[in-house]
Amino acid sequence: MTFFKFTRLAILGLTLSMLTTVQAFAQSTILVVDTQRVIRESEVGKHIARQLETISKSMDAEFKATATPYQTKAKSLQAQLQGQTAETLRADTGLQAQIRSLKADEVKIQEDLYYKQNELKITEQKAVEKVNVRLRDVLKTIVAERNADVVLERSLVIYGDPADVTDTVISRLNAQLKTVPVTRERLPRKAK
């Protein structure tokens, strides 16, 4: 067999292989679901949003309780600093101690805010993960009913018109799951 014939047969074989793969893919049943919409519009997703709002308001109240004394202290110190020169400030060790104390309080407040923001994120992630467990079961059932081969996230589909099962998923999730526990997560604080 000459090189030319061998190359031609190899190309023909590759082409047939690719066509078979394309045909197999074209015959696949592909479903899409918008999981963000499922979380946003489902009963359980709305429940989580309400619970997170309540937790967030509680965190805001805690934060304001620690920030208000800091703000009062800062205003008082600012009033004391008015009219002070650099020389008088250096000589007043009591005032310097108040400035250091205020800066330390500011660092504590910033750390507290950082912890609260992360606690809220973790609280949301854990609540949504509880929904995702049930969501996977709902999707497995729909895949079996529709003899689907693939389920994709709606946002990943660039081209094509696969069957969108988001409404079905929301309906079935609503029938199975109305609420999940949403418990505020607390991160351990650094020991000082």
Tally of CB atoms within 10 A around 1: 6
Residues of the chain with pLDDT under 50: 3-4, 12, 16, 18-23
Check: pTM over 0.75? Answer yes or no: yes
Nearest alpha carbon to residue 34 among 164, 158, 137, 178: 164
Domain residue spans in the chain? 28-176
Tally of CB atoms within 10 A around 121: 12
Alpha-carbon span 184 to 122, nearest angstrom: 8
Nearest alpha carbon to residue 105 among 65, 71, 79, 70: 70
- Starting at the edge strand found earlier in the chain, the sheet holding 30-33 runs 150-153, 30-33, 163-164
Q: What pLDDT does 19 receive?
A: 43
Alpha-carbon span 57 to 64, nearest angstrom: 10
Q: What pLDDT does 8 receive?
A: 53
Residue with tokens 């969501």: 135
Q: Using an 8 Å Cβ cutoff, are 154 and 32 in contact?
A: yes
Q: What pLDDT does 11 receive?
A: 56
Q: What pLDDT does 3 receive?
A: 47
* DSSP reduced 3-state for 146: helix
Q: What pLDDT does 159 receive?
A: 86
Q: What pLDDT does 17 receive?
A: 53
